[in-house]
Structure 1
Amino acid sequence: MARTTVARRPNAGTKGVPRADREEQIVLAATAVFGSQGFAATSVADVAERAGISKPLIYNYFGSKEGLFTACLHRAGAMLAEEMERIARGDAVGLERALRTLEGIFTLLEPQPWIWRLFFDPTIPRGEERIAAEIAHYTDRITALADEGVREMMRLAGADDPLDVSALTSAWLSVADSLVSWWLDHPEETPASMTARCLRLFHVVLGAPLPSALTAD
Structure 2
Amino acid sequence: MPRAERERQMIEVAEAVFAERGYAAASMDEIAERVGVSKPMLYEYFNSKEGLLLACIATSRAQLREATEESVTGATSAEDALRRGLLAFFVYIHERRQAWSLLRQEMVLIGTSASEEIEATRRQQTDLVAKLMTGYLDLGSPSRVEAVAEIIVGACERLAIWCERHDEVTPERATDYAMAVLWGGLVERTG
What TM-score do the two structures reach when normalised by structure 1?
0.72
Q: CA deviation at 1:126?
A: 3.4
Q: Distance in 2 between matches of 1:107 and 1:206?
A: 19
Q: Which amino acid aligns with 1:169?
A: A
CA separation of 1:152 and 1:179: change in aligned 2, threshold 3 A: farther
Following TM superposition, by how much is the alpha carbon of 1:41 offset from its aligned partner in structure 2, in angstroms?
Answer: 1.9
The aligned amino acid for 2:132 is: G
Call closer, same or farther: CA 1:26–1:87 in 2, change over 3 Å.
same
Report whether the alignment pairs 1:140 with 2:140: no
Letter in 2 for 1:123: V
- Unaligned runs of at least 5 residues, structure 2: 186-191
**Residues 149-185 of structure 1: per-residue CA shift (max 9 Å, x gap):** 2324532xxx424443233222111111112222233
Aligned residue in 1 for 2:64: 80
Larger radius of gyration: 1
One of 46, 51, 71 as aligned partner of 1:62: 46
1:32 aligns with 2:16: yes
Aligned position for 1:213: none
Task: Say yes or no: does 1:44 pair with 2:40.
Answer: no
Q: Which runs of at least 4 in structure 1 moved beyond 6 Å after TM superposition?
A: none
CA RMSD of aligned residues (A): 2.6
Higher helix share: 2
1:202 to 176, 179, 187: 179
**Equivalent in the alignment of 1:100:** 84
Identity, % of aligned positions: 29
Aligned to 2:102: 118
Alpha-carbon spacing, 1:205–1:66, altered in 2? closer, same or farther (3 Å): closer
User: Is the Cα contact below 8 Å between 2:67 and 2:88 reproduced in 1?
Assistant: yes
Identify the structure with bigger relative contact order (alpha carbons < 8 Å, sequence gap 6+).
Answer: 1
Range with greater deviation from structure 2 (28-37 or 117-126): 117-126
Q: CA shift at 1:38, angstroms? A: 2.1
1:127 to 96, 112, 122: 112
How far apart are 1:68 and its partner, in Å? 0.7
Aligned residue for 1:40, secondary structure, equals coil
Contact 1:87 1:101 (C-alpha < 8 Å) held by counterparts:
yes
Change (3 A) 1:64 1:196: same
Output the amino acid matched with 1:185.
R
Distance 2:97 2:13 in 1: 13
- Could you say which residue in structure 2 is the equivalent of 1:91? 75
Residues 1:109 and 2:93 are matched in the alignment? yes
Does 1:171 find its partner at 2:148?
Answer: no
Checking the alignment, whether the CA contact within 8 Å between 2:125 and 2:153 is kept in structure 1 is no
Unmatched 5+ stretches in structure 1: 1-16, 209-217
Question: 1:76, CA displacement in angstroms?
Answer: 0.6
Could you tell me how far apart the structure 1 residues matched to 2:42 and 2:128 are? 34
